[in-house]
Chain A
Amino acid sequence: MTNHPEFLEYTGNAGRAEGYLLPSATPVQLIDQDGTPATAGGYKENYSLPDAAVLLEGYERLVVGRRVNEQANALVRQGRMAVYPSSTGQEACQVAADMCLRSSDWLFPTYRDTVAILGRGVAPLEVFESLRGDWHSGFDPHQYNTALPTTPLATQLLHAVGVAHAAKLRGENTVVLALCGDGASSEGDFHEALNFAAVFHVPVVFLIQNNQYAISVPLIHQSVAPSLAHKAVGYGMPGERVDGNDLAALLAVLGHAVNRARNGGGPALVEAHTYRMESHTNADDATRYRNAEEVAQWVPKDPLRRLKTYLDDAGLLSAADSERFAAAAETLAATLRDGLNTETSPDPAELFRYVYSEPTPQLREQSQLLAAELAAGSANLEGALR
């Protein structure tokens, strides 16, 4: 068993591991759904409200994130993008993930984490290159210390462990935060990633955005564990659960886990309870598997509304702030509209350019074939995406 000082502090020499590893009895909440400061109690850490400036920045990011989701949905309807997995309702998780990391840390997102990727500073049109269908991804992971979003579930958690392990061997003071959903927690790679992270004691924080559905399958068909955060105990790392629509609580819980990892405390698992307000993607019909009453229950828990109420009540949000945030959101939305309304023509020669660091003789031949077809105007482009 680990001899980490934090563990001993919690358990004493005769203490039980579970007390240190298990999540708090209820999900951590610092601002309730009415925007009122929640009574902190019963949590295994002393979580406290972040500073006003931090909450204000977080609120701006939420406003921008919500606008991105709306704009992206509109662009799909207009045929400007192939598909968009909306994160409306769960933006707080992504915003908190960004805010608790330094730019030198690494983020490992999934396909639903556009808001988080934008928050890392990735150029908006680079984020949307894959969603519009120009290439499978569009940015340099090293430029932003942000991995490409993955479509297979949970596979990226292992890459996060690898980056963290390498960082540790290289003596870098890097923390890696890996996002996944509730469905991903059923995958074998989820298990292998958590186990590797614990065994190698690397600085990774796993954040499950439990939005209650894996496409159509509800959580009860995904897992009957007491909570997904409870899974941590089996790996020997602390687990924590948090209200995933409460940005303040997310910042506190993730911030604690990230600091702990940075200080050599090893990995942690955080489960954020949130809700996917829209369908899995635009191609999905959520009314087939969940009813309107259930969705309605989550409307009052909206992360934007509650933080705005809190900031308003505390006199922290000025009209000028609100205007500024809305303007920033509109600017980004306009960037996306303008960028995606501009016709692009991906270079067919690129099909062969990046398969190997140097094209194989076979790829050179195939590249020449396509080039000749294009030159002769004989390439069969019927039915292809224009």
Chain B
Amino acid sequence: MTTMAQKPQSQAAGPVPAPELTGVQTITFAKALTLAMSDAMTADTSVLVFGEDVGTLGGVFRVTDGLTRQFGEERCFDTPLAESGIIGMATGMALNGMKPVVEMQFDAFAYPAFEQITSHVAKMGNRTKGRVRLPLVIRIPYAGGIGGVEHHCDSSEAYYVHTPGLTVLTPSTVTDAYIMLRDAIVSQDPVIFLEPKKLYFAKDTVDLDALRARYAPAATAAAAETSIGKAVVARQGTDATLIAYGPSVAAALAAAETAAAEGRSLQVVDVRSLVPFDDETVAAAVRSTGRAVVIAEAPGFASMASEIVARLQERCFHSLAAPILRVTGFDIPYPAPRLEKYYLPGVDRILDTVDELQWEDS
């Protein structure tokens, strides 16, 4: 009897180790995620990966490519086409000692699983007074900029950040893709891991040995410091602070680059961890410049961007030289591919907004 009784065994051979990638390498954001899962699965045999098309195909974005070959069909497997089923089964598996890392394939495809996520995943620890922890990671490719059709480009973070009990993370760099996914897998709490789709094929050069060393059993406490709850200053600057996360960080950095050429020094903060939110780093950054713009792709009304503005207003009011402004998606359904360029927060809209920050001498 195999795990999947009805499924013919494709390869007779057992798990095949993936060719090991070590040292300094130029890899894509997607590959960093794959390596994070592969390394976590090697380190901890209770880590499982499953979802739609994640096995043989390696995921529609190839993020799980090779995991079935490397770890076998018991550790990385395809499920029936049923998002609630994936999350509900993952919940039960986490209850019984496993660490599922599941994929929702596309942001809007996760909505059928919303009840499982909000009613059970988020609340299990609380309902049991901490007697049960759900070390469960829900990977959701999200946001736009890829010319995707309907239901493939939503920025759905507001639904998750509004649900107590969920940790919500979104990386914007290749290094963070690796570190933050490993941190998510180590976490004892359920994590919504939002992957900006348009970054999947972005490349960077990273030192894999150094990244892995953070998770070695003998790693020092400092080296093993988690990214959960920690924002980072992605670019130093003195005139105003741009606050962004996930897919919008690149736009913020590009805007800062352009502004620098025009003689204005913009600081960029990458929030990274939407919940828990790093009030300290973000507020300190805004105090240092006195001006801030929050950038996000999602519709702005009642959004993560709104929350950031509210929190900064509470903490930094007396350091502010201007109201905090937002550059967000419009309050409309995510537009069709040929219209998305008008919707997405881009460099021009960010810089125009920066210009509105009550500059006395400009």
Chain A interface (Cβ within 8 Å of chain B)? 1-4, 106, 135-137, 139-143, 147-148, 150, 152, 155, 157-170, 188-189, 192-193, 195-196, 199-201, 236, 264, 266, 350, 353-357, 360-362
B82 touches A196 (CB 8 A): yes
Please tell me which one of the listed residues B5, B79, B129, B167 contacts residue A356 in the complex, with CB atoms under 8 A apart: B167
Report B330 CB to chain A, min CB distance, Å: 29
In the complex, B85 has a CB within 8 A of chain A: yes
Give Cα A140–Cα B129 distance, bound, in whole angstroms. Answer: 9
Task: Please indicate the chain B residues that have their CB under 8 angstroms from the CB of A165 in the complex.
Answer: 89, 92-93
Distance, CA A150 to CA B126, complexed state (A): 14
Query: Please, could you name 7 A-B residue pairs with CB atoms under 8 Å apart, sorted by A?
Result: A2-B5, A141-B95, A162-B91, A166-B93, A169-B74, A360-B277, A362-B279
Is B95 a contact partner of A264 (Cβ separation < 8 A)? no
CB atoms of B6 and A199 under 8 A apart: yes
Q: Is the CB of A355 within 8 A of B112?
A: no
In the complex with contacts A170-B97, A355-B165, A356-B165, A189-B90 CB distance below 8 A: no
Inter-chain contact B120/A200, CB cutoff 8 Å: no
Out of B80, B88, B120, B130, name the residue touching A357 (CB < 8 Å): B130
Contact assessment for A142 and B132 in the assembled complex, using a CB-CB cutoff below 8 Å: yes
Residues of B within 8 A of A162 (CB): 88-96
- B291 contacts the other chain (Cβ, under 8 Å)? no
B124 → A minimal CB distance (Å): 8
Separation in Å of the A62 CB from the closest CB of chain B? Answer: 29
Please tell me if B18 contacts chain A, counting CB pairs below 8 Å. no
User: What residues of chain B lie closer than 8 Å to A199, measured between beta carbons?
Assistant: 4, 6, 79-80
Residue of A with least CB distance to B164: A355
Contact (Cβ within 8 A) A135 B129 = yes
B88 and A141: CB pair below 8 A? no
B119: chain A residues within 8 A (beta carbon): 152, 155
Contact between chains at A164 and B92 (CB < 8 Å): yes
Does B323 touch A at the CB level, under 8 Å? no
CA distance A384 to B131 in the complex (A): 27
Choice from B4, B85, B126, B189 contacting A195 with Cβ under 8 Å: B85
Are B92 and A148 closer than 8 Å at their CB atoms? Answer: no
Report chain A residues within 8 Å CB of B188: 357
What's the Cα separation between A141 and B120 when bound, in Å? 14
State the CA gap A140–B123 with chains docked (Å): 14
5 additional A-B residue pairs with CB within 8 Å, beyond A158-B85, A170-B96, A201-B4: A143-B131, A158-B89, A166-B95, A356-B167, A361-B277
A355 to B6, CA, bound (A): 40
In the complex, are the beta carbons of B88 and A140 less than 8 A apart? Answer: no
Contact B92 A160 (CB under 8 A): yes
Q: Assuming the A-B contacts A148-B128, A162-B89, A195-B80, are A200 and B3 also in contact, with contact meaning beta carbons closer than 8 angstroms in the complex? A: yes
Q: Which of B68-124 contact A (CB under 8 A)?
A: 74, 79-80, 82, 84-85, 87-98, 112, 115-116, 119-120, 123
Q: How far is the CA of A326 from the CA of B126 in the complex (A)?
A: 37
Q: Could you say which residues of chain A place their CB within 8 Å of the CB of B127?
A: 135-137, 148
- Docked-complex contact A193 and B97, CB < 8 angstroms: no
The one of A155, A193, A196, A354 in contact with B129, judged by C-beta atoms closer than 8 angstroms, is A354
Q: Which residues of A contact B5 (CB under 8 A)?
A: 2-4, 201, 266
Closest 7 CB pairs between A and B? A162-B92, A158-B88, A192-B85, A360-B276, A166-B96, A159-B92, A201-B5
Whether B131 lies near A142 (C-beta < 8 A) is: yes
A169 vs B72: C-alpha distance when bound (angstroms): 12
Residues of A within 8 A of B276 (CB): 356, 360-362
Say yes or no: A140 contacts B131, CB within 8 Å.
yes
Note all chain B residues with C-beta closer than 8 A to A201. Answer: 1, 3-6
